[in-house]
Amino acid sequence: MKIRALALISGGLDSLLAAKLISDQGCEVIGLHFKIPFCKINLKESFPDIGIKIMEEDLGRQFLKLIEEPRYGFGSNMNPCIDCKILMFGRAKELMAEWGAKFVVTGEVLGQRPMSQNKQALRLIRERSGLEDLLLRPLSAQFFPPSLAEKEGWVNREKLLGFNGRLRTPQMRLAKEWGLSAYAAQPAGGCLLTDPCFSKRLIELLKHKELNLENLELLKIGRHFRIAENTRLVVGRDQGENNLLEQLAGTGDHLFSPQKDLAGPTALARGAVNPELIFLSSQIVGAYTDTRGLDKIEVLYRQAGTVAEQGQAVLCLPKEKFVHLFV
């Protein structure tokens, strides 16, 4: 019977190579992809078929706690990379018995990320997750003491690699050698928490104590305005975002759009809404509408879940009028 390994799959190139490297050594590899709100990736589109089964598990709500108070701090923006890996690796350890896995494989490369992939951080993650020598990092294995899989002969240490540093040239060369071309451009599939603009919005959300999964989905799209202490307005930038705002609208939210004969955005107001804020939201929607030279237009609004619309007449004002509210 083949030795079974559990491989953490981010959707990026490194985890792909690590999983294939161990699979090619004769182990049965099961991929494990953790879904978190900040790294949305379609594995069917970005992860080529290398003959392994991939399981998915949602860690969204557990991850929110890391954002509020990460034990090991943030990276350059709002990315709690060390805490994130400890959470994921710890959960992988819990799943090992359920799936009959003998060890866990990751695509980490020594020195690739300054915060979470230096030697000290990698040692800390290994220990704090509880994996210890059940953890194998095949792409940089030559820099670490042998793991249990190597000591037991489940994998051949001589066939493991010694990648090191931030350049991805060795990984890309190996992918080409193996005939792999369809993989995500980002090393780990892309994480919004490393993006300065998204991080700025997230900080503002935390400041107003509005962190939840529903609000995080809104952060990913549109233009954001803080129109009152407890009220946010999100304005769509294209038809796709307009449609998405309609889908994301929940109980108590208000939806806005320009009169039917004008092209413009859908906007979603979330939080405490009163007549004054309805008027302000309508003005902002009007500012992003193609008014065709009109001095005044009507903006339609309704509560989410209802079909009855009301109208609000507003003057056509320039966008600069509302720049101080932009998040």
Q: Where are the domains of the chain?
A: 4-191, 221-325
Question: Which tokens hold the place of 64?
Answer: 């929110």
| CATH class assigned to 4-191 | alpha beta
- Inform me whether the pLDDT recorded for 203 exceeds 50: yes
pLDDT of 282-314, one tens digit each?
999 999 999 999 999 999 999 998 889 999 999
Q: Which residue has the higher pLDDT, 275 or 188?
A: 275
Task: Give the neighbor-by-neighbor strand order of the sheet with 53-58.
Answer: 53-58, 28-35, 4-8, 103-105, 135-136
Tokens of 258: 């320009």
Helix (H) or strand (E) segment spanning residue 246 = helix 239-248
Cα radius of gyration rounded to whole Å, the chain: 24
The greatest distance separating any two alpha carbons of the chain, rounded to the nearest whole angstrom, comes to 78
Quote the pLDDT of residue 38: 86
The whole-number pLDDT of residue 185 equals: 53
Amino acid at 190: G
pTM here is 0.87
Closest to 221 measured CA to CA, from 258, 253, 260, 247: 247
Q: What token pair was written down for 48?
A: 């080529």
Distance CA 244, CA 290 (A): 21
Give the C-alpha separation, 83 to 90, whole Å: 10
